[in-house]
Structure 1
Amino acid sequence: MELTGVADLPEIRPGDDIAALVTDRADLEPGDVLTVASTIVSKAEGRTADLEDFPVSGRAQEIADRIAAMVGEEKDPRFAQAVLQESTELLIDAPFLLTETRFGHICVNAGIDRSNVPDHDLLLLPKRPDESAERIRSGLEERGIEDVAVIVTDTSGRPFRYGQRGVALGWAGMPASRDWRGELDRNGHELGVTVQSVVDELAAAANLITGEGAGGTPAVVVRDWAFGDHDGTDELFRSVDDDLVRQALREWRVDE
């Protein structure tokens, strides 16, 4: 497998055509996977905002005051309000905000970014990343580049480990996961639960190229990778009924 960063992409502005910008700078081939950081997708879709756009509710003020008291640092209630508006559920409200976004991703602060936003205070995640990925893929097809899958990526922490790694928010042109259930291991035992999240694994691999901070390489071409002869599934975000961790978090509250 070969991963190559798409070099020299400009600062993305609202309305920019990411597919056109990538094809001007990369030779894509059928079977490639194009990973695109949600940062530039959000910028192209105009998902920037300023703190003053979020009038503070009583709930947001309460959250900001509580976290400030716990960590000994003033917190802006307008940011808390932005997180609330971008979320469908608040799973942890102190000492940080763990939320479910409107498209089902669970992350800190609804994925709202305050870095690499030159003209605004905040960068929100794409509203519907699957649709974003499909638009980019359609844009590639309009330019004669077919059979290229697209993954919209972000970075996220995970329980029980330090650090962040790349994850998939949306995808088009490929299944989210390889389903190994029913296949046999080397000893002839049938696999009963193994479902491999390939879009997350490709997003994590691409993040080694895109980097963090001021890296400035938000798109990566993955070549010579094949899904293989497996069943596929598009299920990535667990349902509430199937998510024991989320059920436990609903009953948990931090002591002040």
Structure 2
Amino acid sequence: MELFAVPDLPEIREGDDLAALIRERVDLREDDVVCVASTVVSKAEGRLFDLEEFPPSPRANELATRLGELTGEEKDPRFAQAVLEESTELIMEAPFLLTATRFGHVGVNAGIDRSNVADGDLLLLPKRPTESAERIRAGLDADRVIVTDTCGRPFRHGQRGVALGWAGLPASRDWRGERDRDGRELGVTVQNVIDELASAANLVAGEGDGGTPVVVVRGWSFGDHAGSDAHFREVDGDYVRQALREWRYTGGIH
């Protein structure tokens, strides 16, 4: 398997044709997987906003005040309002805002970005990342596209790449019913391949001002396995989320 960044992409603006920009810079193969950072997808789709477009509600003022008290830093209630509007559920409200987005992703601050947004204050995630992946795929010679982002995860330090939307491949491959090296039948292994590909792409894409937003994965095969489009955990079976709903933060910031 080989991964390489698509070179020399310009600063993306609203209305730009991402597929055309990618096609101009790389000769794609049908079985390539094209991983596209959600930041450029959001910019092309006009998801850049100013804070003044989110007049704060009483709830947003309350959240900003409490977070400011905990951190000793002033928090803008307009940002809290943007988070609320992009979320279907506020799972945790302290010491940070952990939310579920409208398309099912769980992350801090509804995934709203305040970096690399020179023409505005906030960059919101794509509204429907899988539809975004389908549109990009329709303009490429490659059959598989993943819209990626970076976020933290429980029980680990740091961030890693994750998939928000995908097209042309299942989200997971199912090893259940197959045999391990000792002949034992596998009973629980479902491998989330779109997250793993997104994480591998993030190693190549990089971060900060040296980052490259599109990475091609070449030579990877799904293999002869059952597939599934289950990606975001169903709420009824998400026991960590259920526990967090009952948990209340009582500590300080260290």
**TM-score (structure 2 length as normaliser):** 0.98
Query: 1:23 maps to what in 2?
Result: 23
Letter in 2 for 1:197: N
Partner SS for 2:208: coil
Partner SS for 1:103: coil
Letter in 1 for 2:33: V
Letter in 2 for 1:46: G
- Correspondence 1:230 to 2:218: no
Query: 2:14 maps to what in 1?
Result: 14
1:120-169 residue CA offsets vs partner (Å, 9 max, x unmatched): 000000000000000000111xxxx2x52000000010111110000000
Query: 2:89 maps to what in 1?
Result: 89
Instruction: Give 1:186 shift.
Output: 1.0
Query: 2:80 maps to what in 1?
Result: 80
Partner SS for 1:36: strand
Letter in 2 for 1:80: A
Query: 1:114 maps to what in 2?
Result: 114
Partner SS for 1:150: strand
For 1:131 and 1:37, locate their aligned partners in 2 and report how far apart those are by CA, in whole Å: 14
Letter in 2 for 1:42: S
Query: 1:67 maps to what in 2?
Result: 67
Letter in 2 for 1:73: E
1:168-247 paired onto structure 2 within 5 Å: 168-247=163-242
Structure 2 gap ranges (5+): none
For 2:34 and 2:233, locate their aligned partners in 1 and report how far apart those are by CA, in whole Å: 25
Query: 2:151 maps to what in 1?
Result: 156
For 1:13 and 1:67, locate their aligned partners in 2 and report how far apart those are by CA, in whole Å: 33
- Correspondence 1:56 to 2:56: yes
**TM-score (structure 1 length as normaliser):** 0.97
Letter in 1 for 2:230: E
Query: 2:39 maps to what in 1?
Result: 39
Letter in 2 for 1:254: Y
Higher alpha-carbon deviation: 211-220 or 20-29: 211-220
Partner SS for 1:42: helix
Q: How many residues align?
A: 251
Percent sequence identity over aligned pairs: 73
- Deviating beyond 6 angstroms after TM superposition, the runs of 4 or more aligned structure 1 residues are none
Structure 1 gap ranges (5+): none
For 2:100 and 2:87, locate their aligned partners in 1 and report how far apart those are by CA, in whole Å: 5
For 1:206 and 1:216, locate their aligned partners in 2 and report how far apart those are by CA, in whole Å: 11
1:89-139 residue CA offsets vs partner (Å, 9 max, x unmatched): 001101100000000000000000000011100000000000000000011
For 2:101 and 2:199, locate their aligned partners in 1 and report how far apart those are by CA, in whole Å: 20
For 1:108 and 1:43, locate their aligned partners in 2 and report how far apart those are by CA, in whole Å: 20
Partner SS for 1:35: strand
For 2:180 and 2:131, locate their aligned partners in 1 and report how far apart those are by CA, in whole Å: 36
1:17-69 residue CA offsets vs partner (Å, 9 max, x unmatched): 00000000011001100000000000000000110000110000000000111
Query: 2:128 maps to what in 1?
Result: 128
For 2:162 and 2:211, locate their aligned partners in 1 and report how far apart those are by CA, in whole Å: 18
Query: 1:139 maps to what in 2?
Result: 139
Partner SS for 1:214: helix
For 1:49 and 1:128, locate their aligned partners in 2 and report how far apart those are by CA, in whole Å: 17
CA-based RMSD of the aligned residues comes to 0.8
Higher alpha-carbon deviation: 72-81 or 186-195: 186-195
